[in-house]
Every structure is written in C-alpha cells, then in structure tokens.
Structure 1
Amino acid sequence: MFLQRMRRRGRAIAVGTAAVAMAAGCSGSGGGNGGGSEAGTLVAYTGQSGDYQRNFNPYSPTANEGPGTIFEPLFFYNLVRDEEPVPRLGEEFSWNEDGTELTVTVRDDVTFTDGEPFTAEDVAFTFDMVAANPAINQGGYEGEAEAVDDTHVRVTFDEPAYMDAPQLLGKTWIVPEHIWSGVEDPTTDRINEPVGTGPYMLEDFQPQAFTLAANPDYYGGEPAVRNLRYLALSGNQSGVDALGAGRIDWMTGPVPDIQNVEENYPGYSAITVPMNQMALFTCSSTDMGCEGPQTDPEVRRAIYHAMDRTQLNTLAFEETASEISPGFALPERDMEVVSSELEAQIAPMEPDTDEAARLLEDAGWTVGDDGVYAKDGERLSLTVTVPTGWSDYITALNTMSQQLSEIGIELTPQQVSYNEWGDSRAQGQFELLMDSLNQGPAPDPFYVYSYFFSSDTTAPVGETANPNYARYSDPEVDEAIEALRGIDRGDAEARQEHFDTIQAAIAEDMPYIPVLTGGTTSEFNVEKFSGWPTEEDTYAYPAVWGRPDQSQIFLNLTPDGGE
C-alpha cells in the first residue's frame, strides 16, 4: 500500500515582540523615502516595471501578490531539493492502495482574515472550482472533492493520480467559499480586497507600491516581519540603484559584478540557484490560430541551432546561467531522467550556423536580396516581446538578434509593459516572447510537461491559456503525461519510457526554443534580517516572485539580525 503521511513539522515561525509603525508609500521611480531602513518592514522588488493594477486574485495570470502570503496551500514543497513537504493548512495526507483516493487532514485552528472559520468545506470548494475552470487548472486535475467533516477532505479519481498530489496540496491556493462562491469568473475577476488564511493581509495599495501587514491572528503566530512593501520601479537598473541605496531588502535579478555582491553592497548577500529554463516562447500552432514564420517547426529548430549560448551567458547573464536540455528536464537536478534517446541531451553552447541554414533551406526558405530568408512571399522576420526594464532579457534578445541576423533571420525585440506582455502571452497574441518555464509544485520534470506541453492547459488564440502559452498539442505527449500521472514516483523504470516519449517530441517540435537554464540570483539584506536561505540550507526556492516559496522565507526571517 502506498502511504505518505506528513505530520506537523517544519521550521518554527518566528514571532516579533515589538510593534512597528506602518511605512508610508514610496515613489515607483526609485526616489522614495528610504523605506528599507524601517525596522520590521521588508521592502521587496519583484521586477514590476510600471504601475501596479490592483488585483489580488491568486488565480489570475496578472495578480500582484497573494499566493502563499495571503492565500495559502495545504503544504509547502521545496523545489530545490527532494524532501518531505512542510504542513501549512494541511496536517497530513495519505493515498489508498491504487492511487485513486487522496485523504487530507486540515487544521482546526484557522480563521480567515474576516474572522470566518476555515474548514474542509473551503478546501473542497477550491478544488471543485479549479476542476471546473480549465484556465486555472494548470495540472489538469479531474478529481472529485468531498468534505467528510470539518477537518477531512477526500478526493477521488477515476484513474491512479499520484502526481496530482503536489499540485493540489502545494500549488492550489485555498479561498473562502463564503466569498468566492460569488466570484463570477475566478480566472479574470479582480480581487481588490483579498481575504485569506495567510500570514499577511493587504494593508495599503497605491499604484507605485502596496503593503501587506502581518496577520495578528495567524495560526502559526504573528510573523516577526511585520510589514512587506512591494515597490514598482522602472526596471532592473532602478532595482540595482535602489539596492545600492539600501532602499530594498530583497530583489531577485541581475546586478553588475554579481559575483561580488557582498563587497559591492555592504550588508547584503546573494545566492544563485539554477532552476528556471529560459526559452523563446512561440505561438506555435496554426490549428490554434497562431500566425507567423515561427509556426514552422524548422524555423524554431534553426533558431535553436543558431544561438551562441556561451556569448549569451557572458553578455546577458554574467555567467550565472547554465546548460539546458532540449527535453526540458533540469540537467543538474533531473539528470537521471534526461532521455538517452535525445539526439543531444544538452543544447549546444556554440552555434551551428550550417545546420540552421540546412534546416531552413530544406523547408523551402531561400535567402532574399536583403539577406533575410523568405518563403511564399513571407520574410523570416519575427518580433519578440519582453517587459520593459528586464535588462538581462533585453540584453539577451539584442545579442540574439545580432546572432540570428548572421544566418538570415530578422529578430526585432520589442519592450512592452509587464501587464501588456502578460496579457498577450495568455491570449496568444505574440510571435515570440522571452520567459522561463517554472518548475511546478515539486522537484520533478513531470510538472513542466503537464503545465507547458499538455493540451489540457492551452487554448485557442484569443482565449486564456494557462500556462501552455505556446498552444502546443501532441496526442502522444498527452498520453505520456497521463500515464506518468498514475505512476508512483518510486517506479523509475516505468516512468522513464514516458519521459523518453515526451522529451523526444518536444525536442523535435520545439514550441519553446531552449535558451539556457536561468541561475536565479537573489540579493538579501542580511544586516537587517537573519534567516535567509543559504547554499548550505536552501530550505525554499529563493526567488522573491516564487510562490509560495516567498512566504516560507518571510516566515523564517527575524528582523535586525545578521549572519
């Protein structure tokens, strides 16, 4: 019998002892009032460029914040290393013998921030809401949830569904039924006044900054970090400037001379973790309504071979990125499941322009008088979008544009606001964009596949896809994903044949063109707070935009500490 019970364990949540005055709002241009110096207030910069739009719907692709901090999962799964999940709203869970029934015990001492009690009914309601709305059902969940009593939920499946547990338990944000039963569309409705169970609640909102205050009634004790202030700046450079001025306490992103953060930014430390696979997302499927040269898989493969990844890593990422597999299993963490049947297990770091040209010419593309390939009167000219201010991605795309021009592909980077970029990504209104594939709820490549390559998580152009933005669909890949869903993670041999199928297909089709594995680098104020993740103790994925990882880190911090 497969049985997995997670008892209440994990890190003690530090509780503050001194009341702290609420901080005032800051300028979004980096000219605020030195908010990073206030005791008990942590100032975070997530990369937001331009004003915030008030939206705290945890299921919206353009939500400002909330998953983990305001709305909680049942358990926390560490993406960096394979270990037992840490209880949050849940206390323990178990499977029946054949993996068709999941039973969860939830806490009995939790209230929502409006004072209403949290029960298993809220969990069952949230699960049912996700199942009924494909746009927010990232994992393709098809179970039926039932609240057995106030503290027990039973989820039943038609087929074994072992791999559904981390998504349901670790990345499903539990919402209050008494409020969300009146939400018309959980995908698009804005939530202006969020009510959750989490350690923080919305205190103040301005377009250039908003503040979350510690929940005094949080079941784990009021957090020691009393206030979280999120700033909107004009881009990465503004973040670097604010970091240098000591105005922000946590930023995830590039800084000059990133190897010497402690020397260049006294009082700060940094950590880099290879995690998110950077790629050129393509609107790939003409059947789904995509248009443009990128719908030709030979164009996508030609771009893959034409990249000089060594140069990209040097010029754009300060050598913090690393190799990527075209089968999208992480080379370090997941090397055991990287398919041996791939033509190349690792994407080439050096360009192969001859192979790129061969692919294009075999597909009927010919070089025009202007040096750019064309086919049937269409020039091989592509626009790639990126949020304004994302300086590393912008540098990468400008460099890539020069690389591709040498083989006859015209690539034009276009900077747009984050909100415009996010909306076009969701709706499929793009040719190419640069982004990264997040790793899902647990350290297993299954989730990348079920998120980004499943027909269940995409939609035609003009409708919201989440998160298969490439509009990719392949019946064999879908079948392999479903097979993996029902296999115990301990059966490596049975799983590998399905990993092989998926990796071979996506390496051939390339709806997401692999660039590099992003080295996620965060800069922390270690003079003001202690308890940050370190290379020796990476208890959570250290990205300020990681959810619910960011909340696990907030709960581990103590103000006015040092290393």
Structure 2
Amino acid sequence: MAQRRRRTDALKAAAGVVAAAVLATACSGGSGDGAGNGGATPPGTLVAYTGQAGDYQANFNPYSPSMIEGPGTIFEPLFYFNQARETEPVPRLGTGFSWNDEGTELSVTVRDDVSWTDGEPFSADDVKFTFDLLLEEPALNTTGFTGETEVVSDTELVIRFDEPSFMEGPQLLGRIWIVPEHLWSRIEDPANDTVREPVGTGPFMLDDFKAQAFTLTANPGYHGGKPELEKIRFVALSGNQAGADALSAGTVDWQTGPVPDIHNVGQNYPGYQGIIVPLYQIALLTCSDAGLGCTGPQIDPAVRRAVYYAMDRTQLNTLAFEGTASEISPGFALLERDEALLSPGLENTVAPMEPDPGRVARLLEGAGWAKGGDGIYAKDGERLSMSVSVVSGWTDYITAVNTLGQQLKAMGIEITAQQSSWNEWSDARARGDYQLLIDSLYQGPAPDPYYLYSYFFASENTAEVGSSANPNFARFTDDEVDAALDALKRIDPQDTAARQEQFGIIQRAAEQDMPYIPVLTSGTSSQYNAAKFTGWPTEDDLYAFPAVWSRPDHSQILLHLAPAGR
C-alpha cells in the first residue's frame, strides 16, 4: 500500500517520553564553564538531562525527527500555547492574530524589533518563507498545512485556506518553527540537513557541542531582553539510577523521569522540588499494517487486543511507575479533561486495570491461534513471540516491559525487551523497524484530543516500512478516520455535539484496531533545583508543561528562570 496524502494536522514528532539518567563523568569536556555539572558550574548555568541515552549526534534542524534541540530555544514559534492549562497564547515572534468569521483567513502581526543571531533583520517575509517551505518539502509538512500566505507589510501577513481551518490555528501559530529565509533558501535538502550551526531568533544560541554534552548560551540581542539564565548545558548520560545519584550530588539541575520515592523529592534531595503532571499516554506502539510492510504476530488485531486484555495495569503502575500513572481510555481521550467527548460506543471507556484471561483466550483462539506444548500460542508454525523496542537506561519502561513479559507469558504470549540507544530506537520507530515499541502519545498545542488523533491516526503521517513516518509510527490507515479528521477541522470547536460524533468514529477505530495498545496515562515526573534557580512552574502556577524534553514548553520555563538571589 502506497503512502497516502491528505489534509490533516500533525505535530512534529517529539523525542518521546523519557526517563532521566546522569553520570557525573559524562559531564566532562565542557565549554569553559567548569566540569559541566550543577555542583561545579556558575550560578547562571543550568544543567539539564533530557533522557538522551548515548552520545549526542549534532542535529539542530527543528523539523528533523532526530533533532536534539532547537524548537523554542533557538527557533521560535509565533506564539506559545500551554498544553497543560487553558490559558491565553503567549506572544513570541507574533504580537496578535485573528480569524475571519468563516475560519478561512488567519491574519497575523509579527514583531518589528527582532534580529536573527547573525544580525540580519527578521520580518514577515521569513514567516511566509517558512510556511511556503512546508508546502515545497512534504517531509517537513507534518502539520498538513495547505494554506496560501501573503505578506501585507514587514509585520503583517494573511494565511488563506480553502475551507474552515480553525483547528489549524494553534499548530500553525504555536508549533511551526520560523527559520531564516536568507540562510535556509540555500539549503539543498532541508528535510535532512542537520543544521550544525543554527541561526535563530530565540532566547538562546548554540555555544559549544560535544558528543557527551552541548551548551546553549543566552542571546544578548533577544527581543524579549537577554535571559537571566546565562547558559544551559544538556548532558548525554546513562541510566535512571545515575540520575537519582546526580540529584543527590547536586550535579544536575533539571531532569524528567523516575527517581526512588518520587513523591518525596524535597525530603530526599535537599534543595530540589518535584512535580508530577498527568498528560502523556503510555502505549505499546505496533507496526500494524502488513500492507505497508509490517511483519510479525502484531499485525493481527486479535493479538493486539489480547495484549490489551492481558495487562495487569495496577501491578504495572506499582512496579514500574511508583504509582504515578493513572487510568487510560482505549479511545485516547484524556479521562478528566475530555470526558464530555468520550464515545458511548466504546466497549471500555476506561482500559481494565486487571487482566481478563478468558477474554485473551477467546480472542486468540477465535483468530486461529492455539497453545503449543511450551504454553505459548502459535499459528501456521509461527509462535506468538514479539520483541519490544525500548531505550537503554529508561529503567521505568524497561521494568514495565519486563513486568509485561511475565504477565503475558502466563496468558500464552511471549515478549522480550530489545534495548538500544535513543538514536537507534528513534530511527527504528520512524522506519517501522520494530514489532512492538514502548513510548507515549503526546498532546497537541492546545488542550483538545483532536491534535493527538491527527498526529498518530492520520494516514498522511505514516509511510511504508523503510521510509520515515512522522508521527503515525504504527502505520495505521483508515479512510473513515481520515474523513472524521477532515470534518473536525471544519467544525466550530464550540459545537461539542457535532465534534463528539466524529470523535466517536476515531475512538471506536482506535479501540477495535488498537495500533497503539493503551498502557496507562503517564504522570510525568520532573525534578528541579529550586535552591539554585527560581521561577519554576508549580501546581498552582502551571504556566508551562514542566518536562525538560517537551518543546517548546521547556523554552518558556527557561525564560522564567533566574539564579536564586537575583
């Protein structure tokens, strides 16, 4: 089956949910700011760990699935939309925007006091160039943008659409990274160029790069004023235990991932605070479509549904996630936020927390699988045995996969963890070179389930195995789902009843086909050095989603931080 193109919205794939880890020795070889760790760096330098397992490979192309940094910090959107709370968009390169009544014209005003970090002036022409580049380079156009952009003046432009496109606003304004026309117009292959010397308008610039760590420095000419945070040092390290050790030693200032006794960070790590925010949804991604080149037992929907019913999610939450995770819907709507949009046609509004051995047996035997002498199901000479790709050092996910392995074996299903570096894992995820893979489905720029569906379930955003999918990594295709996504784009967001009908189509397809097997809703856990820096988000002031790997949320937080005492 060839890759199909259609109008939809999708988000540039993020790095995925990660578990934090640090090795102090990995912080050596820095850029003149000490040993590269929180205890030895100057007060204005923040050491961050994003979960990078293994050496960094320099890639600052904000549109690349394997980029290591750039969105928000180096390359800016027009506005910042808070995915964690319902708040007004925060101006970045833009100052204002408005729709016409029909939702077919979006007028945008941009700043007149911005320069690129090489000194060239920024203008509305750069915005038009970026939007036009998406049309010219389909590999970059992961939002499915089809509008026509007209520059009205140096600070004004209008984007016109052939049909109502209200839902496109938050993505176009908040998740498109504006690039400099005077440099990017000379890039021959913008989808694959690694942009090793990035020039942006953002609050930070690349200062130094080494395989084990790289440093961003504050942009002295930033239009919002030079950030009080002088430098950010991103370290590439090894495993979660080392992350906990680094917190104890004060050698890392911000990480997102599990640590022992995660609910008592302030007591266990003096000077640090922790915050847990439920937002991302953990799933077993499956290479699901044989027509696109997927192979293995997981291409059978009965197998995928059997895995779903074989899970003991209560045990998984306890053993792998320290009780920080919560229930998940097989329709992938957030249970509290999106309750009004859950389809009554779902068999399970909430995924069962306990396993159902009888249901597992009926599903598999009804699909022609039979237990062999070793207790594992088989069909046509193929054992029901699958590998699960997981990043080395992500101990919470590794524990989850190992626990699942024990749970599923009792049901006649065999899975084994296949660990690799983040770079290898990310590449395999994009190319479909996996059977099962543990990751999270992320939300969009605004608190609305439409965006997750348009990212992970739209046919446009997938590809044949061997080609890069972004971010419909499961190779899911369904004409009715595509039609529902198209309809949702045209419906007024206030018309809940009309939207719910289309959401129901998508949710029922997600539950029946199960290309993404729901595990739990992740309680994203971050720890930060409150003694060294002030301005962190709190539960009472959640001005940005506080995960260090979430872009551009992390840049909004970095702009709020200041060394303690200033």
Output the TM-score relative to the length of structure 2: 0.93
Q: Using the alignment, how far apart are the partners of 1:457 and 1:42 within structure 2?
A: 36
Q: 1:35 aligns with which of 34, 37, 44?
A: 37
The aligned counterpart of 1:133 is 137
Q: 1:57 aligns with which of 50, 55, 61?
A: 61
2:127 aligned with 1:123? yes
1:169-219 Cα deviation digits (max 9, x unpaired)? 101111111111122233221110000000000000010000000000000
Q: 1:429 aligns with which of 428, 433, 448?
A: 433
How far did 1:150 drift? 1.1
The aligned counterpart of 2:168 is 164
The aligned counterpart of 2:19 is none
1:300-331 Cα deviation digits (max 9, x unpaired)? 00000000000000000000001100000111
Structure 2 matches for 1:164-563, cutoff 5 A?
164-561=168-565
The aligned counterpart of 1:96 is 100
Q: Using the alignment, how far apart are the partners of 1:312 and 1:270 within structure 2?
A: 22
| CA RMSD between the two structures | 1.5
Q: Using the alignment, how far apart are the partners of 1:353 and 1:133 within structure 2?
A: 48
How far did 1:47 drift? 0.5
Q: 2:156 aligns with which of 146, 152, 159?
A: 152
SS of match in other structure, 1:550: helix
How far did 1:33 drift? 3.2
1:80-112 Cα deviation digits (max 9, x unpaired)? 111211110001111111111111111111011
Q: Using the alignment, how far apart are the partners of 1:267 and 1:521 within structure 2?
A: 17
How far did 1:221 drift? 0.2
1:104-136 Cα deviation digits (max 9, x unpaired)? 111111011011111111111111222333333
SS of match in other structure, 2:360: helix
How far did 1:384 drift? 0.5
**Are 2:24 and 2:251, in contact at CA under 8 Å, matched by a contact in 1?**
no
SS of match in other structure, 2:469: coil
How far did 1:137 drift? 2.4
Alpha carbons of 1:561 and 1:466: their partners in 2 closer, same or farther (altered >3 Å)?
farther
How far did 1:29 drift? 6.9
Which letter does structure 1 place at the counterpart of 2:26? G
How far did 1:30 drift? 8.6
**Are 2:279 and 2:521, in contact at CA under 8 Å, matched by a contact in 1?**
yes
How far did 1:296 drift? 0.5
**Are 1:29 and 1:238, in contact at CA under 8 Å, matched by a contact in 2?**
no
How far did 1:34 drift? 6.3
Q: Using the alignment, how far apart are the partners of 2:139 and 2:425 within structure 1?
A: 18
**Are 1:383 and 1:431, in contact at CA under 8 Å, matched by a contact in 2?**
yes
SS of match in other structure, 1:135: coil
Which letter does structure 1 place at the counterpart of 2:61? N
Q: Using the alignment, how far apart are the partners of 1:26 and 1:90 within structure 2?
A: 40
How far did 1:491 drift? 1.5
SS of match in other structure, 2:427: helix
How far did 1:369 drift? 1.4
SS of match in other structure, 1:178: helix
Q: Using the alignment, how far apart are the partners of 1:112 and 1:280 within structure 2?
A: 41
Which letter does structure 2 place at the counterpart of 1:455? S
**Are 1:50 and 1:234, in contact at CA under 8 Å, matched by a contact in 2?**
yes
Q: Using the alignment, how far apart are the partners of 2:119 and 2:240 within structure 1?
A: 39
SS of match in other structure, 2:96: strand
Structure 2 matches for 1:100-115, cutoff 5 A?
100-115=104-119
Q: Using the alignment, how far apart are the partners of 2:413 and 2:431 within structure 1?
A: 25
How far did 1:42 drift? 0.5
Alpha carbons of 1:26 and 1:511: their partners in 2 closer, same or farther (altered >3 Å)?
same
Q: Using the alignment, how far apart are the partners of 1:59 and 1:34 within structure 2?
A: 28
**Are 1:30 and 1:241, in contact at CA under 8 Å, matched by a contact in 2?**
no
Q: Using the alignment, how far apart are the partners of 1:131 and 1:444 within structure 2?
A: 25
Q: Using the alignment, how far apart are the partners of 1:332 and 1:531 within structure 2?
A: 28
Which letter does structure 2 place at the counterpart of 1:33? A
**Are 1:527 and 1:561, in contact at CA under 8 Å, matched by a contact in 2?**
no
SS of match in other structure, 2:236: strand
Alpha carbons of 1:510 and 1:561: their partners in 2 closer, same or farther (altered >3 Å)?
farther
Which letter does structure 1 place at the counterpart of 2:458? S
Q: Which runs of 5+ in 2 are unaligned?
A: 1-22
Q: Using the alignment, how far apart are the partners of 1:137 and 1:163 within structure 2?
A: 16
SS of match in other structure, 1:134: coil
Alpha carbons of 1:30 and 1:522: their partners in 2 closer, same or farther (altered >3 Å)?
farther
**Are 1:30 and 1:238, in contact at CA under 8 Å, matched by a contact in 2?**
no
Alpha carbons of 1:510 and 1:134: their partners in 2 closer, same or farther (altered >3 Å)?
farther
How far did 1:73 drift? 0.4
**Are 2:331 and 2:511, in contact at CA under 8 Å, matched by a contact in 1?**
yes
Aligned residues: 538
How far did 1:335 drift? 1.6
Q: Using the alignment, how far apart are the partners of 2:353 and 2:188 within structure 1?
A: 48
